[in-house]
């Protein structure tokens, strides 16, 4: 993080799956494993998995949420989930 | 979190934590060896068979495997298998006593991506360690860590691990272990002693006292986030309102399993016994079929009865403890853990003593002949 430019709101950011992360589908959602940090992260809802997988194909988080038909009422919860996935480095900012 | 734990109890599509003991051969004869290792088993999986298993694990999207033994580096194809695994996207964590890590091997290990090394050490001094792991094993482990350090392993691959089985005799050294790990830029990993393998005969003398269990719990509450535990101390959660970091469940057959050197699949590394053998990777359908369809694993994934512990207020915290610890101390699987912190296990151990099943698959080396004293009767 450079800290020089203010980070845009999450909905406008271009996120993607970290290249060192593998996703494995599971009945509850998916398991993510980060080969660099050796950390295992649980994605606890299939819809979160769908959105995570869609991020790379969309210019913004908002675009991915819309493409996955996530109702606006659920966006706040999804933003929290995505934020935690950024913190665990499952997701990263794609260079634009 | 609770909902997730319920999901995990029902089993996953593939294990999270898969241990693969590559060989029963070992240069050491640790008195608590969970796999009673020593001599190689002639039925050991061949290189080609082992690679076929790795292909299956790749298809199942197993992220990493924990390689152990015996001493896995004794296998001549050790590096070949590790490189094959990593090449297939399966990270490798392997446990070793360090005897085969010289300067050259350390450089080779440091050059590999997705590789973690765990050096086993059961004392911060030779006296404490060697009493359990054998004469000279402390110096061997330290030398291996020095080689890893010189080879730049930590800079390149991140911290290697110092792996400690906590016993009555080293529990006071936890701070020293952490300092030792820090001095190498390594990370400490501590696990619970189980009465498995040769440990069945030594557990009674080595397992921490109840007062020491409190000491471990308190220590982990402070240091737990920096120290790895394999989630093995969850039975201690009954000691207080605060749970130790981790999943707090017995993962046997649910998220955990063991492949032994001859391809037998067991519910966890600590239950090498027919009763917990789910199948063999040489069977039709291979490992995937065993994991998904074995009758044993299906049973372990069903809701388990709290049994004798149902009326205990701490059950939610400790989950009845460790299946392997109960089994090899003769306690029913729905009975208390032998190290139940409320003391419910002690009587059960006494009652179960005569009926405790013996570990199977003993590959211990034959006892050395005792020197014959001539001329005396």
- Taking contacts as CB-CB distances below 8 angstroms, the residues of chain A near B91 are 33, 35, 38
Q: What is the pTM of this model?
A: 0.92
Q: What is the dihedral of CA B272, B278, B284, B288, to 10 degrees?
A: -100
User: Cis omega before residue B70 (within 30°)?
Assistant: yes
How many Cβ atoms are within 10 Å of B56's Cβ, its own excluded? 19
Distance CA B90, CA B92 (A): 6
Is the distance from CB of B253 to CB of B302 less than 8 angstroms? no
Angle, alpha carbons B64-B66-B70 (nearest 5°): 155
Residue B6: predicted pLDDT: 80
B4 vs A22, A24, A44: nearest CB: A44
The reply to whether ipTM tops 0.95 is no
Using the Cβ of A25 and the Cβ atoms of chain B, whether some distance falls under 8 Å is answered with: yes
Residue range A43-62, pLDDT digits in tens: 989 999 999 999 999 999 99
Using the Cβ of A31 and the Cβ atoms of chain B, whether some distance falls under 8 Å is answered with: yes
B13/chain A closest Cα distance in angstroms: 6
Residue B6 phi/psi, 5-degree rounding, is -60, -40
The residue behind tokens 């792991």 is B133
B96/chain A closest Cα distance in angstroms: 19
Residue B354: predicted pLDDT: 81
Residue B1: predicted pLDDT: 47
Residue B375: predicted pLDDT: 61
Low-confidence ranges of chain B (pLDDT < 50): 1, 377
Can you tell me the mean pLDDT for A2-28? Answer: 87
Measuring CA to CA, how many Å separate B237 from each of B177, B220, B320, B353? 23, 11, 11, 26
> Residue A2 pLDDT more than 80?
no
Distance CA B226, CA B212 (A): 20
The residue behind tokens 């997701």 is A91
> Residue A96 pLDDT more than 60?
no
Burial of residue B242 (number of CB atoms within 10 Å: 0-12, 13-18, 19+): exposed
Mutation pick from A26, A29, A46, A48 vs chain B, by most beta carbons of B within 10 Å, is A26
């Amino acid at each position: 993080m450079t800290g020089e430019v203010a980070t845009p709101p999450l909905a406008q950011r271009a996120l993607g799956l970290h290249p060192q992360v593998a996703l494995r589908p599971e009945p509850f959602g998916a398991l993510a494993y980060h080969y660099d940090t050796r950390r295992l992260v649980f994605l606890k809802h299939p819809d979160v998995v769908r959105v995570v997988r869609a991020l790379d194909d969309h210019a913004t988080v908002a675009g991915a949420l819309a493409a996955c038909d996530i109702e606006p009422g659920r966006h706040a919860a999804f933003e929290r989930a995505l934020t935690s996935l950024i913190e665990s480095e499952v997701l990263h900012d794609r260079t634009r | 979190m609770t909902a997730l734990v319920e999901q995990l109890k029902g089993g996953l599509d593939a294990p999270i934590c898969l241990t693969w003991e590559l060989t029963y051969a070992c240069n050491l004869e640790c008195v608590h060896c969970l796999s009673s290792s020593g001599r190689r088993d002639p039925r050991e999986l061949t290189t080609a068979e082992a690679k076929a298993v790795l292909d299956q694990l790749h298809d199942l999207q197993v992220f990493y495997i924990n390689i152990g033994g015996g001493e896995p580096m004794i296998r001549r194809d050790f590096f070949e298998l590790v490189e094959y695994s990593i090449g297939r996207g399966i990270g490798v964590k392997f446990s070793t006593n360090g005897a085969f890590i010289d300067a050259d091997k350390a450089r080779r290990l440091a050059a590999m991506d997705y590789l973690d090394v765990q050096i086993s050490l059961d004392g911060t001094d030779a006296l404490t360690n060697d009493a359990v792991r054998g004469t000279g094993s402390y110096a061997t482990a330290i030398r291996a860590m020095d080689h890893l350090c010189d080879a730049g392993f930590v800079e390149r691959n991140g911290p290697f691990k110092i792996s400690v089985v906590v016993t009555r005799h080293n529990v006071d050294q936890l701070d020293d272990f952490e300092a030792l790990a820090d001095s190498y830029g390594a990370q400490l990993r501590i696990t619970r002693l189980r009465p498995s393998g040769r440990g069945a005969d030594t557990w009674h003398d080595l397992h921490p006292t109840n007062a020491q269990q409190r000491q471990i719990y308190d220590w982990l509450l402070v240091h737990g986030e920096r120290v790895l535990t394999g989630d093995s101390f969850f039975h201690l959660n009954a000691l207080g309102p605060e749970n130790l970091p981790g999943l707090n469940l017995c993962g046997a057959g649910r998220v955990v399993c063991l492949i032994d050197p001859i391809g037998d699949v067991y519910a966890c590394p600590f239950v090498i016994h027919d009763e917990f053998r789910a199948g063999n990777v040489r069977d039709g359908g291979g490992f995937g079929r065993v994991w998904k369809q074995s009758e044993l694993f299906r049973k372990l994934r069903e809701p388990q009865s709290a049994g004798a512990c149902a009326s205990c207020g701490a059950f939610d915290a400790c989950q009845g403890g460790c299946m392997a610890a109960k089994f090899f101390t003769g306690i029913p699987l729905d009975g208390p853990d032998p190290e139940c912190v409320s003391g419910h296990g002690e009587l059960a151990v006494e009652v179960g003593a005569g009926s405790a099943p013996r570990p199977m698959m003993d590959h211990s080396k034959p006892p050395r002949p005792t020197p014959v004293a001539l001329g005396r009767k």
